[in-house]
């Protein structure tokens, strides 16, 4: 396991002492220490392999496939959910939630595992949704389930028998407008320190806040074992995992606080 550079950790802790508002942008890497695989934040199960039906996973998990053949989409949603089942949030999620006691914290996550919510993060933008939240495609029925073990696949609405889907953004679908508006409102207020954790930052709405902060002279931190689309932009780079890095920053911050 890579360990974070103590000198960089100390400098990040110093930035924290000067900060009031923090933005955490998180991807699949923050949940890796919970045992979840990390392929593009949708479960890490497929890499470049085709599905059993010879579709790409992006096609199988697309809005158009859900409409045309919901059984296929739900088959792979079920596999992703079963990979999450039994896992829970880890120390990285907990540290971010605990910092709400000392800072104004906003979390922008691509993850659909619900771990930030479970850990207690309140100002949370789940830009791709949560796999545990279900909604009817026809009526206003909604439900939150702990897992999919009790569902028929594909599930139907108990009220109108129409198709039920999870509240997640499938490939080819628009981002939820409420989440986008929430993000813009937070960015308009500004941040004193921006963290990018466990994401390759391939989407512009994930890389954009880091680039915006960098251009404005706001300190930026990346926690990721590999190089990403924002690595060249950030002030501080920790090439290590989320838990070991945030634990080190948390400890250094506490040791230096009065």
Q: What are phi and psi of 132, to 5 degrees?
A: -85, -10
Spatial neighbors of 211 by CB under 8 A, at least 6 apart, are 230, 233
E-strand ranges in 85-219 read 104-109, 124-126, 129-136, 142-144, 164-168, 193-197
Q: What is the spatial distance between Cα 86 and Cα 140, in angstroms, rounded to a whole number? A: 29
Question: Does the annotation count 93 as an active-site position?
Answer: no
Catalytic one among 93, 116, 128, 132?
A: 128
Residue whose pair of structure tokens reads 């739900």 in the numeric block? 74
Among 60, 65, 64, 62, smallest CA distance to 76 is for 60
CA 24 vs CA 34, 78, 207, 210, 220: distances in Å: 18, 28, 12, 10, 10
Question: What is the pairing mode between strands 164-168 and 142-144?
Answer: unpaired
Active site members: 128
């Amino acid at each position: 396991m890579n360990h974070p550079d103590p000198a960089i950790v100390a400098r990040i802790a110093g930035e924290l002492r000067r900060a009031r508002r923090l933005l955490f942008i998180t991807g699949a890497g923050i949940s890796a220490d919970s045992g979840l695989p990390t392929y593009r934040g949708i479960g890490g199960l497929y890499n470049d392999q085709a599905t059993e039906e010879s579709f790409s996973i992006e096609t199988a998990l697309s809005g158009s496939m859900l409409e045309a053949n919901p059984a296929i989409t739900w088959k792979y949603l079920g596999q992703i959910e079963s990979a999450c089942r039994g896992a829970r949030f880890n120390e990285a999620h907990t540290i971010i939630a605990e910092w709400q006691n000392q800072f104004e914290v906003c979390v922008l996550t691509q993850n659909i595992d619900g771990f930030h919510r479970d850990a207690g993060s309140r100002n949370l933008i789940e830009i791709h949704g949560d796999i545990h939240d279900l909604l009817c495609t026809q009526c206003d029925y909604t439900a939150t389930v702990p897992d999919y073990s009790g569902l028929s696949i594909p599930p139907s609405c108990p009220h109108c028998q129409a198709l039920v889907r999870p509240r997640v953004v499938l490939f080819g679908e628009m981002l939820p407008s409420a989440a986008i508006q929430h993000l813009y409102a937070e960015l308009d207020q500004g941040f004193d320190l921006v963290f990018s954790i466990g994401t390759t930052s391939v989407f512009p709405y994930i890389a954009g806040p880091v680039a915006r902060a960098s251009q404005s002279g706001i300190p930026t931190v990346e926690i990721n074992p590999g190089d990403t689309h924002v690595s060249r932009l950030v002030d501080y780079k920790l090439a290590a995992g989320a838990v070991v890095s945030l634990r080190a920053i948390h400890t250094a911050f506490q040791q230096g606080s009065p």
